[in-house]
Amino acid sequence: MGLRATEARNDFWAALPTAVAAELRMACGKVQFTKGEAVFREQEPYRGVFLLESGCYQWHMTGEDGTEGVIKIYGPGELAGVPPLFDTSNDVRYIATLTALQPGRALFWPAQRFLRVLQKDPEWMFIFSGYVMRTLKEVAISKATNSSLPVKSRLENYLHQIGARADWVALPMRKHQIARALNTSAESISRALACMLKEGRLRESDGRYLLVKVNTTKAN
């Protein structure tokens, strides 16, 4: 899948000025990742920006006690590795780790090359700034909302993020890892899965799951 295929799915890329899109296509490199592979690691020297073409990715930080805190789940069409881009210090590093939860592909731009394209076009700078703001807003709302939602709702949101609304998916992490990501326990995740299966909101086949839209309208 090339950049044009990603553009068709993503309003951010569809809105790019034609000349900018052409220059970005010429300037990018292509990389592939296996399940469990780190795209970049926390405190690793900063290299640049990734456009995720396929797969599912977890952006996470490790606390002082060794536990992982999940910041965001990324999917196709999203940019990753953006926060350090405008850091002007001499020692710029990634602020968190991005790990592939499934095999995937990405386009990569070295930081200075991406910045040069960005600085050439005010319209592109405006579009990019809007994208960054929307991503930050999404992270903030997700964190605030998840902390107050029942475990079943958190799990449903998570399954939706990894694509289970559109197709059958295998859980990309073990239950205790999902539990940490959703700020709950593995036992609560197991109970939530069982409840969703019983209610018909979720289907399971050979270890893969599919979210089902349930019609809650009662007949008169």
- What are the structural domain ranges in the chain? 3-145, 150-211
Q: Tally Cβ neighbours within 10 Å of residue 51.
A: 23
* Token pair belonging to 202: 């979720």
* pLDDT tens figures, 7-57: 334 555 777 888 898 999 899 999 999 989 999 999 999 999 999 988 889
* Token pair belonging to 41: 């690691």
- Predicted local confidence at residue 7, as pLDDT: 38
pTM of the model: 0.71
Residues of the chain with pLDDT under 70: 1-12, 65-68, 141-147, 214-220
Comparing C-alpha atoms, which of 108, 35, 41, 93 is closest to residue 68? 41
Q: Which helix (H) or strand (E) holds 32?
A: strand 29-33
Is residue 79 within 8 A of residue 89, CB to CB? The reply is no
One-letter amino acid of 170:
A
- CATH code of the domain occupying 150-211: 1.10.10.10
**Topology of the domain comprising 3-145:** Jelly Rolls (2.60.120)
User: Rounded to a whole number, what is the largest CA-CA distance in the chain?
Assistant: 68
Comparing C-alpha atoms, which of 118, 136, 122, 110 is closest to residue 48? 110
